[in-house]
Structure 1
Amino acid sequence: MGEAFNVADIFGEDVFNDAVMQERLPKKVYKDLKKTIEEGKELDLVTADVIAHEMKEWAIEKGATHYTHWFQPLTGFTAEKHDSFISAPLPSGKVLMSFSGKELIKGEPDASSFPSGGLRATFEARGYTAWDCTSPAFVRHDAAGATLCIPTAFCSYTGEALDQKTPLLRSMEVINEQALRLIRLFGNTTSKKVTPCVGAEQEYFLVDAKKFKERKDLIYAGRTLFGAMPPKGQELDDHYFGTIRQRIAGFMKDVNEELWKVGVSAKTQHNEAAPAQHELAPIYAAANVAVDHNHIVMQTLKRVAGKHGLKCILHEKPFAGVNGSGKHDNWSLTTDDGKNLLDPGKTPHENIQFLLVLTCILKAVDEHADLLRESAANPGNDHRLGAAEAPPAIISVFLGEQLEDVIQQLVDTGEATHSLKGGKMKTGVRAIPDFAKDTADRNRTSPFAFTGNKFEFRMVGSRDSVAGPNVVLNTIVAEAFADACEVLEKAEDFEMAVHDLIKKYASKYQRIIFNGDGYSEDWVAEAKRRGLPNLGSMVEAIPALTTEKTVEMFERFHVFTRAELESRAEIKFENYSKAINIEARTMIDMAGKQFIPAVIGYTKTLADTVLAVREAGVKATVQAELLEETSGLLIEAKRALQNLEQVTETAAGMEDGEERARYYHFEVCTAMEALRAPIDKLEMIVDKEAWPMPSYGDLIFEV
């Protein structure tokens, strides 16, 4: 048994949180920092010097020797450059440990070495990281020792956002401003701030590290590019919420302990639907903190897995034929005095403010469905969306019976007079007491579902930062709030005006509401009839970033400039091409150097067996049939390999951009599937001992 510990004692012990700051900082410095955090007041260097000194002293007590500005460039990962606290040696040969306010507030990584989409040339190297003091600094303990990590934004010398954090912080300011504007119309004069709060559920796979290292596709691409399904997959649903295996339980225990120490409120853990798949869910936090925490979660999962002889896979579809992994982004709006703007109350038909907020969100999602879809687009998600466990690529909103009924009343009569009740849950077992049911079921096929007092955006890929989707959600809803406020602020009769506006929005944007089965073919046809976009791939979704409608909205609220949006589109097209190129070349390497030679060896064994059996005077019918089938598939695989080599070479010669990305999607990906098909069939025929790498069964059932 491991050493017991009290969660309350260790939670946040490695975080420079409010309690630590209040204890260690002079009262005036603490007060000034709180004003910066809560009101955006500028922090002067003298105050920053005091904070930096105390932060350094605290970190050194935790064993830290280095600090880093921890930021989120447009690579999809985090980045960091470590500097030690030591200063220039004294004449005595000793060194002092120092950390200035300037070093705390500003860092200077090389901006030309990160994706910029043309915003930075190679010779334009200067970029800045700026301290995000609203997200607490923390000390991370790993093989490098202890490092003080300071969450930061990352911008170019000329001020363009080169990261995920900067636009997120901008969007949080925008939604705060417009939400306050809206609730002031309803007489709220006490709330001073509205914060988008996020809870990011994280799905992941765990496989044995030794088996992982025997597969080049997992090493280079993060997913299996070949692989036949084992006799058992997830048909029995016996893994979902099943008893957690001891090896995995030990891993989860260590993950929780590490996360709790750095202030990540890991709460829920369980087996997910697919074999070897699991999930971790935290408690809600402010959007920028939640984004930081989710990056910490992903890094911790990977780091701790290594200690247990495991490999954590965050790809959206690492194994064909079983569930992929997503990241459910739970989003709500909360005031500083504890009011949730998405709480419908017991009688939502009477909650006029909630109905306006709700219909504004319907407007936002309907008008920017393509942009919301794009925010969850990545190469791995192309394989996941629309499959049996993930929402379809068509954006729709699930409201549940109660709210759908309220909306329908508004559409039909212009007035909502009642709300459906949840009723009692009767189990039919005397020993189990009846209890109140929720007013709505859940719909796991919906990409954007209302779940009581929040919306759950289920499309996000498991590897992706949740920053992008929340930038979009914050901004599109802020736009809808602003449009509503412009109407209501001019109204002579506010009550009549808000009533008419809610009815107008409910009627106009009802088409985005869908409570049915998002997996059905009928829904695809119905969505088309309604005029809803169906963007099936990343390359089809990226152009939503640079439409005039999108540019106008983001520039209106100063979240993105046109140049920043165009750069992001360029980066995404380039990243897609690079990802598929790596996968294609990995397949070429594996097929040419491992699978085809292994099959050739197996056919020789079969041929020798046929001759030996015949020489013994017995018919070799079965052996001959196997030889013929294997040879036929070998020919098919060789032809498919040659075709993949050809189209990959063609793609490599094209210039970066949308045309190249589309070629990779429609030509190279098709050629990849054509090569995979015969190889997977051969895996079911060839002797397991002759197959050159672990199978699906070895990977997902032997953990």
Structure 2
Amino acid sequence: MTFRSNAYETALSRIAPTLTPPTEKVADLYGSNTFSDEVMRTLLSTEAYTKISNAIKSGSTIDREVAEEVATAMKSWAISKGASHYTHWFQPLTGTTAEKHDSFFDLNSEGKAVEKFKGSALVQQEPDASSFPSGGLRATFEARGYTGWDPSSPAFLMDNGAGGKTLCIPSVFISYTGEALDYKAPLLRSLVMLDKAATSVCQYFNREVDKVTPTLGIEQEYFLVDKALYYARPDLLMSGRTVFGHSPARGQQLDDHYFGSISPRVNAFMADFEFEALKLGIPVRTRHNEVAPGQFECAPTFEEVNLAIDHNALLMDLMQKVGERHSFQVLFHEKPFAGINGSGKHNNWSLSTNNGINLLAPTTKPKENLRFLTFLLTVVKAVHDHADLLRASIASASNEHRLGANEAPPSIVSVFLGGELTAMLEELVSKGEVTVEKGENFYYKLGISRIPNLQRDNTDRNRTSPFCFTGNKFEFRAVGSSQNSASAMIVLNTIVANQLMEFKREMDERLAAGEEKKSANVAILKRYYTESKRILFEGNGYSDEWVALAAERGLSNIRETYDALHAFIEEPTIEIFRKVGVLNARELHARYEIELENYVKKLQIESRVIGDLALNHVVSTVVKYQFKLAQTARALSDLDMTEEAEPIKEIIREISKHVVIIKRLVHEMTEARKNANVIEGFYEKAKAYGSDVKGYFDEIRYHVDKLELLIDDEDWPLAKYREILFLE
């Protein structure tokens, strides 16, 4: 029995485990493993609790005395729930989370065992900064870096299975010289500045608004693969995607997997990780089958952006751990399988005020509607003016496989607003005002009296648009499923904050010159709409017609990651980030270098995997199979059955043709990789990998996939798509 067949037999034998639901109600379960506001209120003194609350709500500084009290309470709470260690949980620029566990156990001066956790340990720790990507901000011999506690994101307990529990403290990560080495630090800065800018603009409409909170809901797509079959695919194990694999006869043509009945085994996995997520305060609410076989999606309730991003990073880690219990490997790669849909991470972003107003929700009241249009068009103007920067925020080697394909937004950034909203904006330009009438709700007439009335939304959804308005929020659909959403949100928050600051500056200048407030407001919005109109698109974003139309409009179509990333270091970008105070020039250049280096390393790994599998798995197997065919053909010829032997000889010739081509292409690819490796410049090396080395990937795959159809099924060494995708 081959390794592949043994893996398939193992996968076939799996049955859905019996999952015992928690005895608590979901409402009681929620947040039970978090150091929540309710826990703090119970364990902290009134003074300490007030200071912590103020720090979370308004950003005031927490003094060390309060930190000491919080640390004592946090240690007591964590130990009471089975924790033995603590860690600063942070998000370095590796794209994953990081943690260094320290024990509560210590020895006092008398050598007696004690449990210790001081305020200093809560506030700050020191991981090795030189071992994380720094883009030249830290040399290899400069090891010192710091993590710092973020009180706005609740500490939580991570169950380590047999190893007990660890208290995880969400933290920022900075270098010894103070630069951000993570996603959280600049994200928090962008949120502060967006709050200030949005609040100042809100003052024109409502003086009661003193805080604006960006909110985010992240839809997470993923694939599930049986663990045995995952290990039977070295390419999945090493690179996260299948570099070879012929499409099965049945893929997603029938669309029967989408929203289909969830299999018992998958449902058990989903229920298990949802229970664990709820304990950690992650409000997961939605689960369903996605379009591609083996693909699924989960989505939470909207949360404050910083918390939503922490929760998404934690959720991805949690899903992998729970997957182990169910013998599943969770794949977050954007395109793990060719020929079927890849996975994204749709970011639903909006702005809410302290008095419960969604600033991106239209109303029928003229004053409130002018406020809505102000924030809507400010966002559109920001996206229009900095589309290339937004494109750079979602650029990666893995997302490059997905962008522009059938199921994903293209690399052209466009905005969808919908017909009704576009008509409102045209009216604003032509008449200087917008008349919105309540009217009657539109209901579908189904001709089935027993069905309750079904109401139609004002605006349709456009799943081909990278940045679409969906009624009361914007959905940024181009974010990759494996990416940290902070990258895109840092950019979005920053460019919108900058545009709001520009709006306020112009409004104040006009008001100081004696212009009436509404007139000044409308004049600015008319100009924003006129200047940004070319980025608005209502049609099919996947079509060739849109590519041609976008070119006519002068919109960028940046297909390659190494070209897209350059927007991070262009002078306008550096100036905006400096002005808003989110990242300085050194930090931006560092991130640019880190992303280019990461791009190179991922393609380097894929190239090595392709060469290894092609020569040491496929070609070696094919040669053995050829020998068996040759023996058969020779035996037939010896029996004077020359005509019967000819089809077999033809198969041998066809196999040989593919083998020769594969060996030549792998050799050329290896040489191209060697040449790329000696290039010094970050961009030049990335371009060499993206064009010269990557250019061989699909060509080698073509010939390997042809061999998959020629070789006996029992001899083929790699688990096939039909086995991986349709076994749940």
TM class, shorter-length: over 0.9
Q: Say if 2:197 is the partner of 1:178.
A: yes
The aligned residue for residue 81 of structure 2 is: 62
CA contact (8 A) 1:402 1:419 kept: no
Q: Give the whole-Å Cα distance in 1 for the aligned partners of 2:691 and 2:526.
A: 43
Q: Give the whole-Å Cα distance in 1 for the aligned partners of 2:87 and 2:726.
A: 39
CA contact (8 A) 1:67 1:83 kept: yes
CA contact (8 A) 2:220 2:297 kept: yes
SS in 1 for 2:105: coil
Which residue type is aligned with residue 57 of structure 2? E
The aligned residue for residue 4 of structure 1 is: 21
Structure 2: segments with no counterpart, 5+ residues: 1-17
The aligned residue for residue 65 of structure 2 is: 46
Q: Say if 2:621 is the partner of 1:580.
A: no
Q: Give the whole-Å Cα distance in 2 for the aligned partners of 1:596 and 1:16.
A: 56
Which residue type is aligned with residue 20 of structure 2? E
- Report deviation, 1:461: 0.6
Question: Larger deviation: 687-696 or 623-632?
Answer: 623-632
Pairing 1:611-650 to 2, within 5 Å after superposition: 611-618=634-641, 619=643, 620-650=645-675
Q: Give the whole-Å Cα distance in 2 for the aligned partners of 1:109 and 1:97.
A: 22
SS in 2 for 1:560: coil
- Report deviation, 1:625: 2.1
Q: Say if 2:675 is the partner of 1:657.
A: no
Q: Say if 2:512 is the partner of 1:495.
A: no
The aligned residue for residue 530 of structure 1 is: 553
Q: Say if 2:462 is the partner of 1:462.
A: no
Q: Say if 2:161 is the partner of 1:138.
A: no
CA contact (8 A) 1:240 1:272 kept: yes
Which residue type is aligned with residue 393 of structure 1? S
Distance 1:419 1:387, change over 3 A: farther
2:588 to 542, 565, 576: 565
- Report deviation, 1:614: 2.5
The aligned residue for residue 492 of structure 2 is: 473
The aligned residue for residue 124 of structure 1 is: 142
Question: Larger deviation: 667-676 or 160-169?
Answer: 667-676
1:388 to 406, 409, 419: 406
Distance 1:82 1:350, change over 3 A: closer
- Report deviation, 1:624: 2.2
Q: Give the whole-Å Cα distance in 2 for the aligned partners of 1:419 and 1:525.
A: 37
Which residue type is aligned with residue 564 of structure 1? E
Q: Give the whole-Å Cα distance in 1 for the aligned partners of 2:464 and 2:34.
A: 38
CA contact (8 A) 1:168 1:471 kept: yes
- Report deviation, 1:674: 1.7
Q: Give the whole-Å Cα distance in 2 for the aligned partners of 1:105 and 1:608.
A: 73
Q: Say if 2:711 is the partner of 1:692.
A: no
Distance 1:679 1:25, change over 3 A: same
* TM-score, L = length of structure 2: 0.94
2:179 to 151, 160, 179: 160
The aligned residue for residue 275 of structure 2 is: 257
Q: Give the whole-Å Cα distance in 1 for the aligned partners of 2:435 and 2:264.
A: 54
Q: Say if 2:390 is the partner of 1:372.
A: yes
SS in 2 for 1:77: coil
Pairing 1:596-607 to 2, within 5 Å after superposition: 596-607=619-630
The aligned residue for residue 225 of structure 2 is: 207
CA contact (8 A) 1:574 1:656 kept: no
CA contact (8 A) 1:178 1:482 kept: yes
The aligned residue for residue 437 of structure 1 is: 456
- Report deviation, 1:417: 3.2
1:33 to 45, 52, 72: 52
CA contact (8 A) 1:211 1:699 kept: yes
SS in 2 for 1:627: helix
Q: What is the percent sequence identity of the aligned residues?
A: 46
SS in 2 for 1:279: strand
The aligned residue for residue 702 of structure 1 is: 727
Distance 1:600 1:163, change over 3 A: same
Distance 1:268 1:348, change over 3 A: farther
CA contact (8 A) 2:19 2:272 kept: no
Q: Say if 2:345 is the partner of 1:327.
A: yes
Q: Give the whole-Å Cα distance in 2 for the aligned partners of 1:347 and 1:278.
A: 41
Q: Give the whole-Å Cα distance in 2 for the aligned partners of 1:328 and 1:537.
A: 21
Distance 1:539 1:420, change over 3 A: farther
CA contact (8 A) 2:89 2:97 kept: yes
- Report deviation, 1:194: 0.7
Pairing 1:9-28 to 2, within 5 Å after superposition: 9-28=28-47
Q: Give the whole-Å Cα distance in 2 for the aligned partners of 1:566 and 1:204.
A: 32
Q: Give the whole-Å Cα distance in 2 for the aligned partners of 1:428 and 1:565.
A: 59
CA contact (8 A) 1:201 1:281 kept: yes
Which residue type is aligned with residue 276 of structure 1? G
Which residue type is aligned with residue 680 of structure 1? D
Q: Give the whole-Å Cα distance in 2 for the aligned partners of 1:413 and 1:262.
A: 52
SS in 2 for 1:436: coil
Which residue type is aligned with residue 131 of structure 1? W
Pairing 1:60-459 to 2, within 5 Å after superposition: 60-89=79-108, 91=110, 94-143=112-161, 144-186=163-205, 188-346=206-364, 351-418=369-436, 423-459=442-478
CA contact (8 A) 2:399 2:480 kept: yes
* TM-score, L = length of structure 1: 0.98
After superposition, the C-alpha distances for 1:116-160 in whole angstroms (9 at most, x for unaligned) are: 101111222211111110000001102332000000001111111
Distance 1:4 1:645, change over 3 A: closer
Which residue type is aligned with residue 55 of structure 2? T
Which residue type is aligned with residue 502 of structure 1? L
- Report deviation, 1:111: 1.2
CA contact (8 A) 1:392 1:518 kept: yes
- Report deviation, 1:89: 4.3
- Report deviation, 1:411: 3.3
- Report deviation, 1:96: 1.3
- Report deviation, 1:10: 1.1
Structure 1: segments with no counterpart, 5+ residues: none
Question: Larger deviation: 544-553 or 599-608?
Answer: 599-608
Which residue type is aligned with residue 674 of structure 2? E
Q: Give the whole-Å Cα distance in 1 for the aligned partners of 2:383 and 2:438.
A: 25
Question: Larger deviation: 285-294 or 643-652?
Answer: 643-652
Q: Say if 2:523 is the partner of 1:504.
A: no
Q: What is the number of equivalent residue pairs in this alignment? A: 701
- Report deviation, 1:511: 0.9
CA contact (8 A) 1:539 1:658 kept: yes
Q: Say if 2:538 is the partner of 1:515.
A: yes
Which residue type is aligned with residue 214 of structure 1? A
Which residue type is aligned with residue 294 of structure 2? A
Q: Give the whole-Å Cα distance in 2 for the aligned partners of 1:503 and 1:336.
A: 28
Q: Give the whole-Å Cα distance in 2 for the aligned partners of 1:570 and 1:98.
A: 40
The aligned residue for residue 671 of structure 1 is: 696
- Report deviation, 1:552: 0.4
RMSD of aligned Cα (Å) = 1.4
